[in-house]
Amino acid sequence: MPVYDEFKEEREEIKNADFKTKLSYFWDYYKFHTLGGLFVIIVLSIFIYERITAKDTVLNVALCNTITGDSPTVQEEFPKYAGINTKKEKISLDDSYAIDLEGTSQASVYSMQKLTAYVSASELDMMVGSVDVISYYAYQDDFMELDKVLPKEDRERPEGQLFYIDKAVVEECQQALSEMKDTEEIEKPDPFKPELMKEPVCVGIVLDQEKPPLSTSFYVTNAEEGAVFAVLYNAPHTDMCRKFMEYMIN
């Protein structure tokens, strides 16, 4: 019997068959097409859903070596303070950064690489960490001068609550790096004694971790002097950085 006649006869049998037989026939011959089509539909649905429900990040903060509570106050209260539309916008307080300046653990190497990538891409607004961690990045010239972020009244802090770097030492470090030299041998002045610096520049505020809202939000480990807040030199949301600092101060 010719192939066409066989095919025609089979079609006639299927046409007159019961529903179960038709379904079995369809699955045998079209299951891969059906599964492929379903896969495409699912992927497109997920993509569309994520695009529709995605929220814009209006503040991205790197919390270095911190312990965060299950329900930090700042996550709940700061959006209200800053007038953030939480249906369309969000803040990111990323506590995944585990930086050990003395060691070479995998977690520390990954954290430093991640931090460098985010800063290079201008996707990070602020860093919060201990004096030694913030100092390490400050002398790479990674932070904005505080007078470009906070108004004068908020920069008039008691002694020990402002974090300074010596711009002359920053330039010395930059020169050493350009010559492929180690910067660890370069002496870094006390960040709380600007009077001993050649070119003092304030790049951060230091907050007592025992006082709210910081005490009810997160805790920076190995930070006896307090938690240092600094704004990245290329922060995309400087206005929100100002509001965040004002909230944490007041």
Instruction: Give residue-wise pLDDT tens across range 83-110.
Output: 999 889 999 999 999 999 887 789 999 9
Rg (CA), the chain: 29
Residues 148 and 94 in one domain: yes
Residue-range definition of the domain harbouring residue 133: 55-249
Structure tokens at 81: 């303070």
Is residue 202 a contact partner of residue 163, using CB atoms and an 8 Å limit?
A: yes
Residues 88 and 211 in one domain: yes
Residues 226 and 102 in one domain: yes
Residues 228 and 114 in one domain: yes
Residues 43 and 117 in one domain: no
Rounded to whole angstroms, the Cα distance separating 64 from 67 reads 9
Residues 188 and 71 in one domain: yes
Distances (CA, A) of 242 to 2, 164, 215, 230, 249: 82, 18, 20, 10, 11
Enter the pTM of the model: 0.77
Residues 134 and 230 in one domain: yes
Closest CA to 132 of 237, 236, 221: 221
Residues 91 and 14 in one domain: no
Residues 12 and 121 in one domain: no
Tens digit of each residue's pLDDT (9 = 90 or more) over 180-229: 888 888 899 999 999 999 999 999 999 999 888 888 888 999 888 999 99
* The total number of structural domains that make up the chain: 2
